[in-house]
Amino acid sequence: MDNKLVYFVDDDPLANQLFERVAKKIGFNCEVFNNASDCLLRLNDSQPNIVLTDLNMPGIDGFELIQKVTTQWPNLPIIAITGQSSIDRAVQAMRAGACDFIKKPYQVAELKNSIDRNIQFSQLASTDSGTTINNYQMVGESAEILRVYKMINKLGMVDCPVIIAGESGTGKELAAQAIHKSGKRNQAPFVAIDCGSLPDNLLESELFGHVKGAFTGATSHRQGLFEYASEGTIFLDEIGNISPIMQNKLLRVCQENIIIPVGSNQKISIKARLICASNRNLDEMVAAGEFRHDLYHCLNVITLPIPSVKDRREDIPLLIEHFIKEFSKKYDQPIKRFSNEWSDKLSKLPWNGNIRELKNYIERCIILSESDNLDGVAPPDENSITDNAQDNFRSLKTLEQEHIQHVLKGVNGNQNKASKILGIGRSTLWRKLNDKT
């Protein structure tokens, strides 16, 4: 029997009775609450493994409960449950801090899977064993990458468009694959295409397909990637590089969920989930008139920022170890490692090409090394090792977040008091807190 403890909050007594029966059936201990206030009082005394809450309740509603829980108990996962299936409410719940979203009437198997998955993630994120998460093949246990894992876990369960932002080489496609694998579309295709590598005519044909005779060389009908992805996910890498013409055509796809193959008048309904990535700042491109604002807002329901290597230096030794094992196996080489001095040197390099650059360097070391260790192969930009003192500086955003958390702790998580002390509106405080995820 499972000893996991679940708190369930709903103002409907019948819903509470039903959950008690379901929890017993699937092996969970549970406590039910008719309102959020009672749940919060109980949380001050006892911590469950997870909280599930309805959204529409009198007094403190589900959204406010989610905010309070994630502020005061950041490692406690909370799932939103509601009878309203609007994607907007799902996104609103996630932005408030929910780790998942389940619609009523829920399926018992779906409920159990969500509870198990989010408890597992919470336990993993609060320990030092977070080198890989849920077979995503993403390596790291820094605070920055754990926030990425947390967002991936949320986004996998909700079919909203996502923009993945980050420098080249940070692993944006890997993050897109992780979102796909963690969700209900994981048995359907994941299709990726680099939008910056193709001219308009080829990109349009790749995405939407074409019919026989549509252009010179079109000797047969070809299915487009949107149609091929079907119930799966299509990942458009470097979306900021597409032309204004293609932006306009992609906008129609986002608004109408249809495509028209090149050379055809037939409209084809598509159901593929859309995830985009860019190493360019799309906000700045919109402001400069280089990217359509209406397309940007269609795509940008949620933005997932991927940190650069220099923003997660504590992960470099883990990444090095991971790539040593990978390439030693690939080239059938005995496991060798760097000396402590060399490892320290590697951890201080800028790695402007991010994980891709580090990975290529480790592969080069495995191939070229002739000694008992991997020292000796010149790393890239060896003369631009960062200054230790400079690494100790923190950004204004980091200082702001630390001050906000300090104030919240001083007022026991009361966001109304905190916003007055900080001199900002509560909605502004909420947005700034949400920036951490």
CATH of the domain at 59: 3.40.50.2300
Q: Report which residue type is found at 269.
A: S
Same domain, 165 and 297: yes
Instruction: Note whether residue 134 is domain-resident.
Output: no
pLDDT tens digits along 165-207: 999 999 999 999 999 988 888 889 999 999 888 888 889 888 9
Instruction: Note whether residue 130 is domain-resident.
Output: no
Instruction: Note whether residue 218 is domain-resident.
Output: yes
How much is the average pLDDT of 399-408? 76
113 contacts 105 by C-beta, under 8 angstroms:
no
Instruction: Note whether residue 137 is domain-resident.
Output: no
- Tell me the backbone φ, ψ of residue 279, rounded to 5 degrees: -95, 0
Instruction: Note whether residue 132 is domain-resident.
Output: no
Instruction: Note whether residue 133 is domain-resident.
Output: no
Question: Of 255, 282, 307, which residue is a domain's last?
Answer: 307
Supply the CATH number for residue 224's domain: 3.40.50.300
103: Cα within 13 Å, side-chain hemisphere: 9
On the 0-12 / 13-18 / 19+ scale of CB atoms within 10 A, 379 is middle
pLDDT at 99: 81
Same domain, 149 and 285: yes
pLDDT at 183: 81
- In this prediction the pTM is 0.62
Same domain, 163 and 300: yes
**Which among 136, 289, 282, 260 is positioned nearest to 195, based on CA atoms?**
282
Same domain, 173 and 263: yes
- Per residue, the 3-state secondary structure of 156-195, as one string, reads CCCCCCEEEECCCCCCHHHHHHHHHHCCCCCCCCEEEEEH
Supply the CATH number for residue 403's domain: 1.10.10.60
Question: Of 125, 159, 174, which residue is a domain's last?
Answer: 125
Beta strands in 229-270 (DSSP E): 233-237, 258-259, 268-269
Report how far residue 249's alpha carbon sits from residue 175's, in angstroms, rounded to the nearest whole number: 26
Which H or E run contains 360?
Answer: helix 354-368
- Tell me the backbone φ, ψ of residue 199, rounded to 5 degrees: -70, 165
Pairing of strands 268-269, 258-259: antiparallel
Same domain, 302 and 316: no
How many domains, the chain?
Answer: 4
pLDDT at 358: 95
Residue 398: count other Cβ atoms within 10 Å of its Cβ.
10
Which residue shows structure tokens 């950041």?
74
Between 172 and 377, the more confident residue is 172
Q: What is the dihedral of CA 32, 89, 268, 299, to 10 degrees?
A: -130
Supply the CATH number for residue 325's domain: 1.10.8.60
pLDDT tens digits along 216-225: 777 888 888 9
pLDDT at 85: 58
pLDDT at 119: 83
Report how far residue 415's alpha carbon sits from residue 231's, in angstroms, rounded to the nearest whole number: 41
Instruction: Note whether residue 139 is domain-resident.
Output: no
302 contacts 93 by C-beta, under 8 angstroms:
no
Same domain, 150 and 28: no
Between 100 and 299, the more confident residue is 299
Same domain, 238 and 316: no
How much is the average pLDDT of 32-61? 93
Report how far residue 138's alpha carbon sits from residue 25's, in angstroms, rounded to the nearest whole number: 35
Same domain, 314 and 300: no
Same domain, 241 and 323: no
Same domain, 366 and 425: no
Instruction: Note whether residue 131 is domain-resident.
Output: no
Same domain, 363 and 419: no
How much is the average pLDDT of 131-156? 76
User: How large is the C-alpha radius of gyration of the chain?
Assistant: 24
Arithmetic mean of pLDDT over the chain: 85
What domain range is 424 assigned to? 396-434
Same domain, 251 and 164: yes
Question: Of 307, 325, 341, which residue is a domain's last?
Answer: 307
Q: Which residues contact 393 (CB under 8 A, 6 or more apart)?
A: none
